[in-house]
Structure 1
Amino acid sequence: MPPGRALDQWTSVTDLSYLLKHLIGGVLASAALLAFLRKVSGASDEPRTKRRRTMFACATALAMAILFFAKLQPYETPSILADPVARYAFLAYTLLFLGYLTASLLGGMRLCWRWGHNSSGPALSWGLRIVGMGLAAGVAYAVVRATTITTRIHGDGLFPGAMDDYISTALLMAALVLIVAGTSLPMLSLLHSWRTKRHALLRLRPLWRDLTQVTPSVRLHAPRSVVTEHLNPLNVHDRLYRRGVEIRDAALALNNYASPALRKRAQQHAEAHGLFGTQAAIAAEACWLATARHAKLRGAAPGSSVEHRPAGGGRDLHSEISALTQLSDAYHSDLVRDFTDAEDRLMEPLA
């Protein structure tokens, strides 16, 4: 037995599922979709406007319920048209529902058209445009359905046979598919951003672990295990931001363990391996950071204060993490290992 028919029999209310389908799948869903579009598009929403939309939705739902229980009982939907009074109540009920649906969809189309050109990223922009196309298909569905019901009340319908039902169903399915596809695009973009940040977080862990091991005071929290790090999907953005800060703080703490002479040798070492410009500067920074870490582990005393200028970085998280990732790759390269081994051999006679 279909769930709708089971509900009707359980409540002893004929076609109650028909009313609930329109109230939940129509009025509530369209109101929720409009609120969602306003949220993701960044449109401002005054409290008075929000209350007005809520009252409009509630008034529509109340009027539909009154018409349903006052005039559309105890008829089943196919037999309503045989009663002269009930069929006009059914027409009013249908036009009220479709009118609210059309108004909501048109409001959503305006939002999509306005904010689709001013959104923060291509995924959101195209997502809103696709949703707008789906809403336009929904408006077309509502218009065709309203015309079909009206013409059936007074005659044989707009199209011959069941053609109007096929057209309405096709428009409704197109609307649903486009709306689902459009609303999924921003979520896919967020998922891609999350995956990118999580990859960077895990990729920077070895560098972070090495540097903060000798400068534990820069850590905000106690280190977590590798398994916990991999399995925890929460707060990836904040954790990545904090990891970048702690790496930079650790480098600053190790700064006085790297003399100007050491930095010069590191720069010459990088250039001797064919690097130049920013690549050479990043490799040189990785060289003296690794050497400074070894010096602190040996218990060496810090030298005089040296100005610390990171080889790369930027004002936003993306450019900063990009620079730190390059630093991490250089830090774990053979070039840096060769440099630190040579520096350690120079320090052995002094130990």
Structure 2
Amino acid sequence: MGNGAQAVGNVCMWAAVLLRLPHILESRRQRELWLAGFAAAAATTLDLDGVRDVVDRTFGGLHSVDLVRNVCGLVSSFALLEVVHSLTADARRRARLRWLRGTACCVVAGVVVLDMMHRPHGGQLILEDSSPTPSTAYWLLIIATHMTANVLCVMVCLSRGRQCTNGFLKTALFLLGSGAAMAGLYWLGALSQLLGHAWSVPVQPFALALHGLLVAAALSVPSIHTARRALTDLRDWWLIWPLWRDLVEVCPQVLLSPRRSRLQEILCPQGPGRLLLYRKLMEIRDAILLLDKYVTPELHASAQAFADRSGRRTRGSAAVSSSAKDHSAAVLAVVLKGARAACLAAACPRRSTIPIARIGADTLPDETAFLVEVSRIYRTAPTPVHPHTPVTEETAQ
């Protein structure tokens, strides 16, 4: 079970590493975290019994595999230390970074030298009933490096996580710190084995499995955030489409690109989702400005009355008071419906009219939410009789 759990954690870590590969050039911190995850994934892969058996049967070099595994583990630890270093604010950061990288080179070189100084041997193991291979100093250097990196990572992640206000960053720090704690538990078990205690042998594979899962989750947080934002943009784009369609039908001059069907936009988008949504918002705003000349005091009064009635119904049925933005959204929905009807009926626009209902937002996310609410009300709101519409004899009767 331990080997199976370790394999699952390893697969998840590789998936997260490959998922973040296209984004590692965005920032130095992203590159350092990705390198830590990549090196850790390589080290845990070479620690799997199945991989070791295949390499032994194919190449017959368990000694080289184990040395590469431990070097990859050290690279992962020092990359993690660089991540921890980048999370701290200090005037001496550059000097400490040079010292850290110099120490990393010395430790890796020291591990290789200690391995070469030992008599010829096969796999590198900490055995319960005999001395470790290659030497106790070799394993102490590796364990001390890993324990130092993991303890510092846990401390900094907890400290920065408590101060962070960004939910996704706080989650990533918590996951990274938890993964470092699991790796620390693994190396604590290795230290106990080195001291002659075997309590950690059944625990270590599960610690590595949890380490892989948590580090994979930490690496995936930016991708999850991006996917969530893309789905939110797609949902908002879908919800405002009916309002956009009706407005550009009477104001085609606001279109920034040729009009396409909803299915064409989804199957063959002409740009990222956020850009498509922003374009729809701009075209709706431009259409609102063009329809402003069809707004009359009577139409505005009718929209106000509808918004007041809707607010009273909401309070009575759901015991929820209608906010000012909900009221503004209801007014704007009815005003747009009446102005559009007047435009379609070829009514004479008024040059001197009251301003159309204001957009109830100051930021792009708030404006998007506001227009989504306008679109929802627009679909079911009644079409008021516009005073500009010519009155025929049938209408008068």
Normalising by structure 1, we get a TM-score of 0.75
Q: Where in structure 2 are the equivalents of 1:207-286 lying within 5 Å?
A: 207-231=243-267, 235-271=272-308, 278=324, 279-286=326-333
The residue that corresponds to 2:46 in the other structure is none
The residue that corresponds to 1:107 in the other structure is 152
User: 1 CA distance for matches of 2:65 and 2:164?
Assistant: 39
1:96 pairs with one of 122, 127, 141: 141
- The answer to whether structure 1 residue 315 and structure 2 residue 358 are counterparts is no
Quick check: 2:297–2:354 contact (8 Å CA) kept in 1?
A: no
Quick check: 2:179–2:215 contact (8 Å CA) kept in 1?
A: yes
User: Secondary structure of the equivalent of 2:355?
Assistant: coil
Quick check: 1:148–1:164 contact (8 Å CA) kept in 2?
A: yes
The alignment-based identity, stated in percent, is: 24
User: 1 CA distance for matches of 2:261 and 2:96?
Assistant: 50
Letter in structure 2 aligned against 1:258: V
User: Secondary structure of the equivalent of 2:288?
Assistant: helix
User: 2 CA distance for matches of 1:107 and 1:78?
Assistant: 26
User: Secondary structure of the equivalent of 2:257?
Assistant: coil
Distance change in 2, residues 1:273/1:197 (3 Å): closer
CA-to-aligned-CA distance 1:99-131 (integer Å, 9 cap, x gap): 222232233223311221122344543442343
Quick check: 2:67–2:124 contact (8 Å CA) kept in 1?
A: no
Distance change in 2, residues 1:143/1:199 (3 Å): same
Quick check: 1:313–1:323 contact (8 Å CA) kept in 2?
A: yes
1:91 CA drift (Å): 2.4
Distance change in 2, residues 1:3/1:196 (3 Å): same
Gaps of 5+ in 2: 1-48, 313-321
User: 2 CA distance for matches of 1:65 and 1:336?
Assistant: 80
- The answer to whether structure 1 residue 120 and structure 2 residue 165 are counterparts is yes
Q: Where in structure 2 are the equivalents of 1:83-232 lying within 5 Å?
A: 89-149=134-194, 151=195, 157=196, 159=197, 162-181=198-217, 188=224, 190-231=226-267
Q: Which moved more, 1:116-125 or 1:229-238?
A: 229-238
The residue that corresponds to 1:343 in the other structure is 386
Q: Which moved more, 1:276-285 or 1:199-208?
A: 276-285
1:240 CA drift (Å): 2.8
Distance change in 2, residues 1:33/1:251 (3 Å): farther
Q: Where in structure 2 are the equivalents of 1:293-312 lying within 5 Å?
A: 293-306=340-353, 308=355, 310-312=357-359
1:19 pairs with one of 57, 67, 86: 67
User: Secondary structure of the equivalent of 1:254?
Assistant: helix
CA RMSD of aligned residues (A): 4.1
User: 1 CA distance for matches of 2:361 and 2:128?
Assistant: 70
Q: Where in structure 2 are the equivalents of 1:43-62 lying within 5 Å?
A: 50-62=97-109
Letter in structure 1 aligned against 2:367: E
Distance change in 2, residues 1:164/1:110 (3 Å): closer
User: 2 CA distance for matches of 1:123 and 1:189?
Assistant: 7
Quick check: 1:255–1:308 contact (8 Å CA) kept in 2?
A: yes
User: 2 CA distance for matches of 1:124 and 1:132?
Assistant: 12
Letter in structure 1 aligned against 2:182: A
Aligned length: 334
Letter in structure 2 aligned against 1:60: V
Relative contact order: is structure 1 or structure 2 higher (C-alpha 8 Å, sep ≥ 6)? 2
Letter in structure 1 aligned against 2:138: Y
User: 2 CA distance for matches of 1:232 and 1:70?
Assistant: 63
